[in-house]
Amino acid sequence: MRVAIVQLGCPKNWVDGEWMLGQAREAGHDITSDPDAEVVIVNTCGFIDAAKAESVNAILEVAERKKAGTVKRLIVAGCLVQRYKEDLRKAIPEIDGFIPLSSAGAVAELLARPDLAVPVRKDVALYDGLSPRVLSTPPFLAYVKIAEGCDNPCSFCPIPSFRGRLHSRPMGDVVKEVQGLAAQGVMEIVLVAQDTTDFGTDLGLKDGLAALLRRLDKETDIPWIRVLYAYPNHLNAAILESMAESARVVPYLDLPLQHAHREILRSMKRGGSGEAFLRLLERARAAVPGLAVRSTFIVGYPGEKREHFKMLAEFITEARMDHVGVFTYSREEGTRAHALGDPVDARTKRRRQERLLEIQQAVSLEKNQARIGATLTVLVEGACDETEHLLQGRLATQAPDIDGRVLINDGFALPGTLARVRITEAHPYDLVGEIVG
């Protein structure tokens, strides 16, 4: 059969979807991007309200195509299945089958037996890196999931309730997977997990992420190695040293801080404070030359008062991070914060979100303007999303999909190649330049 997938959610979820496609291809099915394939798998996200709504809408769109006869079978996979399988079954009868996180390895069997009842279990299948996988990213980019689950007690996060406790992959398996991706021509790998800085602690490893980065630097030849989702309490000197020692681990730190006021952080079960985070950023920047920092924050958490938000805004101004994402609080079942209700109204949340983004835009624009005239290395991605007359690419300090990009208006380079680009214009998120080598 012809099998297509609708990939939703975070890169960790995408890896699960690519594993599913690999199994389908291994079983003899054709993988396609055609939305009217015989079988469409919707790989859902169930993290926050907005993501759940997007997932449900995607399922309904495919269900309509099934009613019209263009799609023969609709299968729903991922986090939403793990949390709400029975609700989905009752609400959308067009769904033919479900693949919960605990049974991500059962795709081939489900395609062969559409009546197969796949149970939802608390354990979560972990991709071993050696099974067949079909990349849904551009061929020069791959996400590598180094662990599943999370041991952090964050009060707002439902992930441990449906992805379970931390379960790290053996380090040797990760190295072998990256070696295989390098042999396919992948230029950039992005290491992901719920908390990459906790990698290996469940296996008894000390400084597991630092050791993994050193092995990848020594035993693979991937040009760019990037790490996402670092937990501030677990970011230590060993990790920073391993980043600084390698010319291929890019100087990029994704450090979701979530807030800066001590009281809100305490309620979030995160710990820390704005002052402590500023000291952490100072140490990180001193340890890793040219380090770019990205962080995410939540506004409208229960109990967030005007003074709490004011301190958060002041922190973002002072921290001068390169990239910032801001989310409005989403009350989620299965979290400790659920009992606190949702007392901050939606309008206040949106206003606070917009204010933080305005502050960061000014910081980002100033940082980008300082790059005008510099010649920097860019990973060329191909034609610009908006117009074929421009190329687009990224600096080592820009992660795929979540940060800005470099628009190239003069010169040519093939997608997946590294080019030297002179920066000629700067905007809050994007840079503009010309290829000079």
Strand partners, 188: 141, 224
CATH architecture of 375-435: Beta Barrel (2.40)
- Tell me the C-alpha to C-alpha distance, in Å, between residue 291 and each of 284, 300, 317, 324: 8, 30, 18, 15
Which regions of 196-291 does DSSP assign to beta strands (E)?
224-227, 252-254
Structural domain boundaries in the chain: 2-112, 141-369, 375-435
Q: Which top CATH class is 141-369?
A: alpha beta
State CA 38 to chain mean position distance.
Answer: 29
Which regions of 39-192 does DSSP assign to beta strands (E)?
39-44, 73-78, 97-99, 141-145, 147-148, 167-168, 188-192
Q: Which top CATH class is 2-112?
A: alpha beta
Residue among 293, 302, 285 at smallest CA distance from 338: 302
Q: Give, for all 437 residues of the chain, the pLDDT tens digit.
A: 999 999 988 888 899 999 989 999 999 999 998 888 899 999 998 877 888 889 999 999 999 999 999 999 999 988 888 888 889 999 999 999 888 887 877 788 888 876 667 777 777 777 777 788 899 899 999 999 999 999 999 999 988 888 889 999 999 999 999 999 999 999 999 999 999 999 999 999 999 999 999 999 999 999 999 999 999 999 999 999 999 999 899 999 999 999 999 999 999 999 899 999 999 999 999 999 999 999 999 999 999 999 999 999 999 999 999 999 999 999 998 899 999 999 999 999 999 999 999 999 999 999 999 999 999 999 999 999 888 889 999 999 999 999 999 999 999 999 999 999 999 999 999 999 999 98
- Angle, helix 306-319 to helix 346-369, in steps of 10 degrees: 10
- Two tokens, residue 409: 């208006």
